[in-house]
Chains A and B, each alone.
Chain A
Amino acid sequence: MPNKLKENLESNVFVYTSELSPERGADLAKMKATYDLLKGEVTAFNITDNQGANMKMSSLAGSIYIKQNGGEPIFQQTCRDRNRMALESDLLGAAAFGVQNVLTLTGDYISFGDHKHAKAVYDIDSVNLIEIVKGLNAGTDMNGSKLNGHTDFYIGAAVNPESVPLEPQLIKFEKKIIAGCDFFQTQAVFDVNKFSKFYDFYKNFKDIKIIAGIYILKSAKTARYMNKFIPGIYITDEIINELENAADPLKKGIEIAARTAKELKPFVHGIHIMAYGIEDKIPLFLRNMLDI
């Protein structure tokens, strides 16, 4: 079965990915509407897994649904809510329905979301999860038992290129590559200079594909909120000032995102667009970025 994300990345065609978040509820209509809006613009869609530790319909169901509608899902799997056995069985289920991309994540801590009293699982971590997927692709579970039907996942992971300090993050990044990761989607990048330090490190890994995260900011208020409450986000004061002084902050936010993406483009293999609640602005962002 063709895998648009893998084929494009492996043949060095620049990719665009974005996110589809399943609803808190059993209705798929809203996710479908966003998918229909963006399917012509985006190579593959990350289907989020209880994002921000908020309870939503499963990423497994969302991924299968998008696949059945002709899209290319990236099945997000966090280690927060499921132990190793549940992760393996969901991966097999996804593969059985033709899902071919997975993004292995640790998962935001449980206290960020709407189920603060739940037990956080973290039975394994994201590096171990990559090893597990690699094993499932080779036809065995993590204990070496043979599978009746192997998976064929293109394996993704996350990295935060703006992390301060960066070195411990780079050690983990390298562990993920050794474990068998094929591509990375980065945390949102706001400072291209900081990103270049990360680039200096990863350019040594020739086969690894990097998709840079770009977040479209709506306002200075959103930016300040994210700096305070969203894990691992570093929005610069310059960007916040630009948004603050803009007559149309959303327009400015799109401009900033397009400018950052344009600067990153020569160094990466794709752009991952995050536009929470303003997914309809993604086509405009892309036109800005590509000067169309």
Chain B
Amino acid sequence: MIVSKQKELNDILKKIRGSVFIFGCGICSDTSRTGGPKEVEAMSKILNDRNITVEGTYVIDAMCHMQKVRKAVRDNKDVLSKAQSVLVLSCGSGVQSAVSALPENIKVVSGVDTMFLGNIENLSSLKEMCSLCGNCVLNETGGICPVTLCPKGLLNGPCGGMKNYKCEIDENMDCAWVRIYERSIVQNTIEDIKKTAKPKDYSVKKPAATLKFTGSHK
């Protein structure tokens, strides 16, 4: 899931023009507690209390799904036509779904900052374990990602700052390379981590990438 964090309220208020329609996202923003039904309702109340008219609200089950967002815009056409601004409480991907589905003259305001791809440890703890780098090294590192879990993204072992099994930037955080080493002992795969990894190939990650399929999925 995509983890997000609500922007400072004043920063949101400064961007809103006239009356507002609020979109939420029922998947990631709901789990992030930034844009599910509960947060959309709370935001609606906050804006009402500041005399900003909320024309309507709608929680889409995935704001990143552009077809669903276009449908939601069609279904809410009449209410949306009264709003001067649309506040989107979802990741940056969802905000841009709204931008492309709405008329060009509608101001779209993002209410959250998009943080990371998160694993749900439990509903109170979201943890970054993959950073979407585009060329995965997990098969070489025993299934533990140094690109994400080492702040320096090192591919060839720990830096000299590791101390007593912990990362130099946070004494509560395990050194990713110590974890990789320990697991390689159990798995008997130490030869894998003794091989020098080449620098990552960033050309695989195209700017503003699009992946297109041919043929039917089903």
Where the two chains meet, the residues of A that have a C-beta atom closer than 8 Å to any C-beta of B are: 79-80, 84, 106-109, 111-112, 120, 122-128, 131, 142, 158-160, 163-165, 167-169, 171-172, 174-175, 178-179, 187, 231-234
Contact = CB atoms under 8 A, between A and B. Distances in A.
Interface stretch (B15-23, B116-124, B158-166): B158-166
Interface residues of B, number: 31
Interface of B: 151-165, 168-169, 175, 177-178, 180-181, 190, 193-194, 196-200, 202
Contacts of B202: 123
Contact of B160 (A120, A159, A179): A159
Contact of A128 (B152, B156, B165, B190): B156
A158 B160 contact: yes
A128 B199 contact: yes
A8 B151 CA distance: 38
Contacts of A163: 158, 160, 162-163
16 contacts: A108-B168, A109-B151, A122-B152, A123-B200, A125-B155, A125-B156, A126-B156, A127-B157, A128-B155, A142-B199, A160-B160, A160-B162, A165-B165, A179-B196, A232-B162, A232-B163
A126 B160 CA distance: 11
Contacts of A187: 160
Contact of A127 (B152, B156, B160, B200): B156
A80 B152 CA distance: 8
B178 A168 contact: yes
A175 B156 contact: yes
A168 B154 CA distance: 13
A42 B58 CA distance: 72
B163 A106 contact: no
A165 B178 CA distance: 8
Contacts of B163: 163-164, 231-234
A13 B63 CA distance: 68
Of residues B157, B159, B164, which shows the largest number of chain A Cβ atoms within 10 Å of its Cβ?
B159
A169 B157 contact: yes
B193 A106 contact: no
A21 to B, nearest CB: 18
B121 to A, nearest CB: 24
Nearest to B152: A122
Contacts of B156: 125-128, 172, 175
